[in-house]
Amino acid sequence: MDTMETLNGIFREVFDDPSIILKRETTADDIDEWDSLSHINLVIAVETKFNIRFALGELQTLKNVGEMVDLIEKKIRK
Amino acid sequence: MTFYSLEFFLFLPLVFIIYHYSGDRVRRLVLLLASVCFYAAFRLPHLVLALVCVVSVSYVIGLRIDASSTPGRRIGLLWLGIGANLLVLIAVKYLPFIVACLNTLASKLSWGVSLPESPLLVSIGVSYFVFQALSYIIDVYLKTEAAERDFVLFALYLSFFPKLLQGPIERTADLLPQLRAPYEFRYDVVRSGLLLFTWGMFKKLVVADRLALYVNMVYADVHGNSGTALLLATYLYAFQLLLDFSGYTDMARGVARLFNINLTQNFNAPYLATSVADFWRRWHISFSRWILDYIFKPLQMSFRDWGTFGTAFALFVTFLVSGIWHGASWGFVIWGLLHGLFLAVSVYYRPWKKRLYKATGLQGTWLQQIWQTVVTFNLVCFTWVFFRAASISDAWYIVTHVFSDIVSVFSHGGFSQAFQLGAGKTKFLQSLIPLSAVLLLSLVKDKVDLFARPFWFRWGAYYLLVYLILYQGVITSKATFVYFQF
């Protein structure tokens, strides 16, 4: 299973929405709300699944899902 | 200089004319010089000095971060920039409070030393441009923004006079490109700006300041007023603050439109929020986005291994900072902590909320909406007590006495007692009439396009607005905006 497919599975699980189909161009609509835990749950789920650790500020610079996939793959290779 | 002072009514047309007839190359310089004059008109040299320090330091740090490729050096510069900006803020705003706290601690611990008292300085505007400078430095560090090389443009971004004193706290990506774009005179934008400015002035002078007459009298003597008067004054304060601050924001946005600049909208019917989190998406939006992005998110990320507690704790700390940002007093700290507490509790309560509404059959009904709005409004008003009261003991007296005579309200006409002990029925009613009018007008304002109406209707509305400001407005030489002090 490639990174994109695995990530798609995580998104579906965290957002509790089996219809999610990720593309490289997919961007986060303003989901980061004061009462929202989904963003941090997503980060934790991705870190656990790929056994990686994001540094502070690394995620803020990502513009879309494609860049997230690239970052994950770069971290796995390290 | 305030937006409704006589000087401003001479200053603004003059700046506009010079700006309009200047060549493209000097236009930004005209606005920058106008902004410095606007700030210097307070005749408080330390304010201009603080602005110069923040602009110069942030400009240089931004360029250095951009030019540096070593991660260690970049982070060092980031912290240097943050530290230098915070130092300016502390020096202007927090030094007397810190010194007083240290002296109290020293005397309690019998250290036998005390620091000399620090002079209390006026800090109008400083918190706003320091926060804007911090967001710029962090964005350059994160590479979400490029460092600005044009010094005049950068200085103007931080000091643009319509938003200098009280925000909105503009992001680099929102304001810099607009300031960089060539000037274009657009009659419809200028006209809508002038109307927005006048509407803001109406909200401030006719409604907020009239409400303040009642609120100030009651809050000046909390022990001498009945519980009902305290309750009414607290509810009215909620609206006074909203109209004072949103009135200012409308005026700022209106002035900016004269130069074809669109500033961020700071309010979106905050008292219709259905949760405290929702309230923070609607109240002082430019500020809440700032603390969300630059304090809450990094903290939440750092505490992520602690699970739900991590998020709750991050919220708590974020709103503590928000309280301190508003001012160096325990009332603001408690106000911030209460919001942090409400949001932290809501993180745990969230899974139960859905079940509760489902079990009671309220899920998705209008009753649920009304219930949530009423509860949220009351929670917010509860926190305003600490925000407004002159001291913590006054605030505590209010929250423990608001219902002290609630029975007599229904049985012995306690409402009239509230008026007598408060500020009199006439003053109270004088506050309520314009308030109701402005709330009603706010609801229909966006639906009725005034500029699409016939000539006589438009000009009738303009004259009515100006007449009300001049004859019903509370115009004094000492009037100021509540949020100036932050």
Q: pLDDT for A63-76, tens place per residue? A: 788 888 999 988 88
* Residues in chain A within 8 Å Cβ distance of B343: 34-35
Out of B46, B223, B326, B339, which one is annotated catalytic? B326
DSSP string, B124-186: TTHHHHHHHHHHHHHHHHTTSSPPP--HHHHHHHHH-GGGTTT-----HHHHHHHHHSPP---
Q: How far apart are CA A46 and CA B268, in angstroms?
A: 35
Nearest residue of B to residue A57, measured between CA atoms? B142
Q: Which tokens in the block code for residue B56? A: 């110069």
Is some CB atom of chain A closer than 8 A to the CB atom of B353? no
- What pLDDT is recorded for position B44? 86
* Residues in chain A within 8 Å Cβ distance of B351: none
Q: How far apart are CA B29 and CA B261, in angstroms?
A: 16
Q: How far apart are CA B193 and CA B196, in angstroms?
A: 5
Three-state SS for B3?
coil
DSSP string, B393-410: HHHHHHHHHTTTTHHHHH
Dihedral sign of CA atoms B360, B364, B365, B367 in order = positive
Nearest to B332 by CA among B381, B385, B284: B385
Nearest to B204 by CA among B438, B390, B41: B438
* Residues in chain A within 8 Å Cβ distance of B322: none
* Amino acid, res. B179: L
Query: Chain A: nearest CA to B275, how far in angstroms?
Result: 9
Asked if A57 and B298 come within 8 Å (Cβ–Cβ), the reply is yes
Q: How far apart are CA A25 and CA A42, in angstroms?
A: 18
Q: Which of A34, A56, A60 sits opposite B302 (nearest CB)?
A: A56
Identify the DSSP state of B385: H
Residues 129-188 of B with CB under 8 A from A: 141-144
Asked if A61 and B350 come within 8 Å (Cβ–Cβ), the reply is no
Q: Which of B281, B304, B308 sits opposite A33 (nearest CB)?
A: B281
- What pLDDT is recorded for position B246? 92
Asked if A54 and B301 come within 8 Å (Cβ–Cβ), the reply is yes
Asked if A35 and B298 come within 8 Å (Cβ–Cβ), the reply is no
Domain extents for chain B? 6-183, 189-485
Q: Which of B275, B298, B308 sits opposite A56 (nearest CB)?
A: B298
CATH number of A3-77: 1.10.540.10, 3.40.50.300, 1.10.1200.10, 1.10.260.40? Answer: 1.10.1200.10
ipTM for the complex shown: 0.81
Q: How far apart are CA B44 and CA B40, in angstroms?
A: 7
Is some CB atom of chain A closer than 8 A to the CB atom of B294? no
Per-residue pLDDT reduced to its tens digit, A17-51: 788 888 888 876 644 455 567 778 888 888 888 88
* Cβ contacts from A onto B, under 8 A: 48
Nearest to B176 by CA among B231, B133, B207: B133
Has B412 been annotated as catalytic? no
Domain extents for chain A? 3-77
Cα–Cα distance list, A55 to A75, B130, B131, B315 (Å): 11, 26, 24, 20
Peptide bond into B270 cis (omega under 30): no
Asked if B347 and A57 come within 8 Å (Cβ–Cβ), the reply is no
Identify the DSSP state of B118: P
User: In this structure, are residues B157 and B179 in contact, taking their beta carbons and an 8 Å threshold?
Assistant: yes
Residue B337 burial (CB count, 10 A): 20
Q: What is the pLDDT along chain B (486 residues), one digit of tens a residue?
A: 888 888 899 999 999 999 999 988 899 999 999 999 999 998 888 889 999 999 999 999 999 999 998 889 999 999 999 999 999 999 888 887 788 788 888 888 877 777 777 666 677 889 999 999 999 999 999 888 899 999 999 999 999 999 999 879 999 999 999 999 988 888 889 988 998 999 899 888 888 888 888 888 889 888 888 888 888 889 999 999 999 999 999 999 999 999 999 999 999 889 999 999 899 999 999 999 999 889 998 898 889 888 889 888 999 999 999 999 988 788 999 999 999 999 999 888 877 887 888 888 777 788 888 999 999 999 999 999 999 998 999 999 999 888 877 666 665 555 555 555 445 566 667 667 777 777 777 766 666 677 777 778 778 778 787 877 777 777 665 566 666 666
User: In this structure, are residues B343 and B315 in contact, taking their beta carbons and an 8 Å threshold?
Assistant: yes
* Residues in chain A within 8 Å Cβ distance of B298: 56-57
Dihedral sign of CA atoms A58, A59, A64, A69 in order = positive
